[in-house]
Amino acid sequence: MKPSKDISRLIDIMAALRNPETGCPWDVAQDFSSIAPYTIEEAYEVLDAIQRDDMHDLRDELGDLLLQVVFHARMAEELGSFTFGDVVEAVTTKMIRRHPHVFGDEKAREAGMAKGMWERIKAEEKAERRARRKSEDPAGAPHEPGYLDDVPTALPALTRALKLQQKAARVGFDWGTPRPILDKIEEEIGELREALDQGRKEAVAEEYGDLIFALVNLGRHLEVDPESALRATNEKFRHRFHAIERGIEAEGKTLNSATLEEMEVLWQRAKEIK
């Protein structure tokens, strides 16, 4: 089998890999749950290539992410649920529906430019999705979905916290300015200190989570994305720690033999540089 720019070749390759008799044992053994972590990882690798402005890597990483979509679609096809073609049809239907100002007739294009049209169309789609889920459950839906229930639980925790807060804010449940959130952060720090002093391990974890949630809320009001901010801080920490490593090596020592005081001096020096 030869490489090709045609998507059908990738679909055929995945079908061959999943063949129970002649396919790859590893690929055959996978299911949606086992593949999901790889799907998330590939999405982050796409982001990494974008941040590094590496177009060669971006091409490869987008291919790896596309492979994940084909993999999931193939497993669904084996179950008789849907095919890759159904995935393409679903997303094209959604994009056409959400852009009447681009794909509709003249009247639809004028209406599509109206303020709030995008949110209105998405709300209609969610209502249809809720109705479908209820109809697919012969016993009836176990509970009426809540307003925040459609924020995916599989999102990275910081991103999900941000989306939960954004959605709650749309109906008026929000702080007016950043200042009160700073007070809330100080309150959460106090509660965390209290839990630490009392040695309540479960309470410490809970209060720590509340503190992070409040910090995400502050970032939202400051128009700072928490994931991006933390990634930047992670990279800053890596860069400064590497400076410590170089400094220790220049003194003929290793990280394991260096003292905390020696590393702190080098850390402060790295901070002055950048």
pLDDT higher than threshold 80 for residue 20? yes
Q: Is residue 145 part of a domain?
A: no
Residue 52 pLDDT > 90: no
Q: Is the pLDDT of residue 122 over 90?
A: no
pLDDT of residue 115: 56
pTM: 0.62
Position 24 scores a pLDDT of: 96
pLDDT digits (tens, 9 = 90+) for 180-236: 999 999 999 999 999 999 999 999 999 999 999 999 999 999 999 998 899 899 999
Are 174 and 116 members of one domain? no
**Residue after which a domain boundary falls, among 224, 244, 259:** 224
151 in any annotated domain: no
**Which of 188, 147, 186 minimizes the C-alpha distance to 169?**
147
Structure tokens at 156: 């990275």
How many structural domains comprise the chain? 3
In terms of domains, do 129 and 12 share one?
yes
DSSP of 29-91 = H--HHHHHHHHHHHHHHHHHHHHTT-HHHHHHHHHHHHHHHHHHHHHHHHTTS--HHHHHHHH
Q: What is the mean pLDDT of the chain?
A: 88
- pLDDT at residue number 135: 66
Examine the domain organization and report whether 37 and 128 are in the same domain: yes
Specify the range with the lowest mean pLDDT, choosing from 66-75, 82-91, 228-237: 228-237
Residues 243 and 211 in one domain: no
* Shared domain check, 111 and 14: yes
Query: Computed over its alpha carbons, how large is the radius of gyration of the chain?
Result: 25
Q: Which residue has the higher pLDDT, 87 or 118?
A: 87
- 60 lies in the same domain as 118: yes
Alpha-carbon span 14 to 74, nearest angstrom:
7
- Give the pair of three-digit tokens for residue 216: 């995400």
Domain containing residue 215: 157-224
**Does any domain span residue 144?**
no
- Give yes or no: residues 54 and 104 share one domain: yes
Q: Is the pLDDT of residue 140 over 60?
A: no
| pLDDT value of position 139 | 55
